[in-house]
Amino acid sequence: MTFVVYLLGILLLGIRAYQQTHDLGDYLLGGRKLGSAVTALSVGASDMSGWLLLGLPGAVYLAGLQESWIGIGLIVGAYLNWLLVARRLRVFSFHADNALTLPDYLECRFRDESRLLRILSAAVILLFFTFYAASGLVSGAILFESSFGLDYGVALLIGAVVIVSYTFVGGFLAVAWTDAIQACLMAAALVMTPIAVFSAVGGAQEVMEQVAVVNPNGLDLFGDIGVLGLISLLAWGLGYAGQPHILTRFMAIENPSKLAPARRLAMSWMVIMLAGSVATGFAGMAYFAAAPLANPETVFISLSQALFNPWMAGVITAAILSAIMSTIDSQLLVCSSVISEDFYRTFCRPQASGSELVLVSRLAVVGVALISLLIAMDRESKVLDLVSYAWAGFGAAFGPVILLSLFMRSMTASGAIAGMLAGAITVVVWSNLSGGIFDLYEIVPGFAVSLTCILAVSLCWPECREKVLGQFDEARALSRNLTMPEEH
């Protein structure tokens, strides 16, 4: 009952957002009217997908505290993203002809008349977001399957219908509002559950003793991961500057001056969430010492069902679905914006009306969801594996491009194309190799290759068009003028 009430509430929010969605700008960026609190919680929730409550606790449950290096890398990367990218991207994207999507921003930033940069960046978004969205559907299927005993295929379909419904109807505002509520639910669940587990086992000392019996390396922060493993875990932080579903939140905030309080709230929330996730997986090792779980990624679900009454378990189940929904809805919306704005209006119907483009965006949400559904049909799919692949793809393809587009005056469209293509290809190739150096997380070589290509091309053939250089100077000046003293 609590679970159904939660779902109905989310759908009502979608309908409310529908009433405030009048054009494509509203549907894709909420009319750039987000406040600092909604922006902060929405960024956090869309970032921390189902892997926060399924994938990461499962990894810690299997390997111990050494997996917490992922969280450390993410915290550092997220903070630098807020500090270096958020303000400049909000100002630069608005100054670049009020760009609504990342491909739109990149084309306007470099005045790329060939349209190749727009096409390539849109293709990269659709490729990797399809896998990313599939990870969310797999998470949803695991949740419905474990909680209600449903068949995996049926659970997958139900999860897809729920997530697509309010995104289809309400667009960006529905996604942002629901993300903020979902962030609060996730926080409550990840604070309560570890406390309940530690209490049930007998306290922190008893938990550590049980973990030492189950896995002698479980208490070791370094364990047996080695240098490559440590670099790979920390390297997750490299991906932030290239995640479209996070960057669009920065573009949508009402005023750049609101980014400072948003950053503080988002980072506080993130630290609590990651600590709770690691603590849940760690305590789960002790709680299920006598009867290990068949699927480690269900440790959070199993703990909530074992420790709480059905009413409370329903709330926590809703929190798990929140983590899943809060990311996949953002991904579907970004994909729909790429299809409607960067393909349909740009190449098919430049004269398309606002209502027509909103309709195309809604149909695109359904289309991308169907393709992701086909990928997620593989019962052996692992949430963390799908997320890590998509995260690396975006981090390598977009990360260096976005960073340098905001800070390198002489960067060119050719440099951006070379870097994006090189980064994406490196990730795809590297992920299919194994052994030795190829065990390194593919985001590291992908990011390095992309950065090198951009610098090489842009330094050899620097931007010399006055219009592009002037636009960069104006945007940089606006960004600096908007900087508030307390934000340093």
CA distance 234 to 237: 6
pLDDT band at 5 (very low <50, low <70, confident <90, very high): confident
Residue 335 structure tokens: 């994909």
What pLDDT sits at residue 486?
Answer: 38
**Residue 21 DSSP label:** -
**Could you count the other beta carbons within 10 Å of the beta carbon of residue 169?**
18
**CB-based contact 143:301 (threshold 8 Å):** yes
pTM given for the model? 0.80
Closest among 235, 238, 260 to 250, alpha carbons compared: 260
pLDDT band at 425 (very low <50, low <70, confident <90, very high): very high
Convert 370-394 to b/e letters by CB count within 10 Å (16 or more is b).
eebbebbeeeebbbbbbbbbbbbbb
Cα dist. 18→24, 169, 195, 362 in Å? Answer: 12, 6, 39, 12
What pLDDT sits at residue 485?
Answer: 37
Q: Does the pLDDT value for residue 29 go beyond 60? A: no
The per-residue pLDDT of the chain, averaged, comes to 82
The predicted-structure confidence for 225-283, as pLDDT tens digits, reads as follows 888 889 998 999 998 999 887 888 788 777 788 888 888 888 998 899 899 999 998 98
CA distance 59 to 298: 11
Helices (H), 253-287: 259-287
Helices (H), 149-219: 152-201, 204-214
Percent of the chain clearing pLDDT 70 (strictly above): 86
One DSSP character per residue, 434-449 reads -SGGGGS-THHHHHHH
Residue 67 structure tokens: 């997996």
**CB-based contact 185:319 (threshold 8 Å):** yes
Contacts of 361 by beta carbon, 8 Å cutoff, 6+ apart: 24, 27, 28, 171, 336, 337, 339, 340
State CA 451 to chain mean position distance.
22
Percent of the chain clearing pLDDT 90 (strictly above): 23
pLDDT band at 483 (very low <50, low <70, confident <90, very high): very low
**Could you count the other beta carbons within 10 Å of the beta carbon of residue 115?**
13
The predicted-structure confidence for 324-344, as pLDDT tens digits, reads as follows 766 676 777 778 778 887 788
Domains recognised in the chain with CATH numbers: 2-392 (1.20.1730.10)
Pick the residue with more confidence: 132 or 88?
88
C-alpha torsion 142→146→152→156, nearest 10: -50
pLDDT band at 149 (very low <50, low <70, confident <90, very high): confident
31-46 mean pLDDT: 67
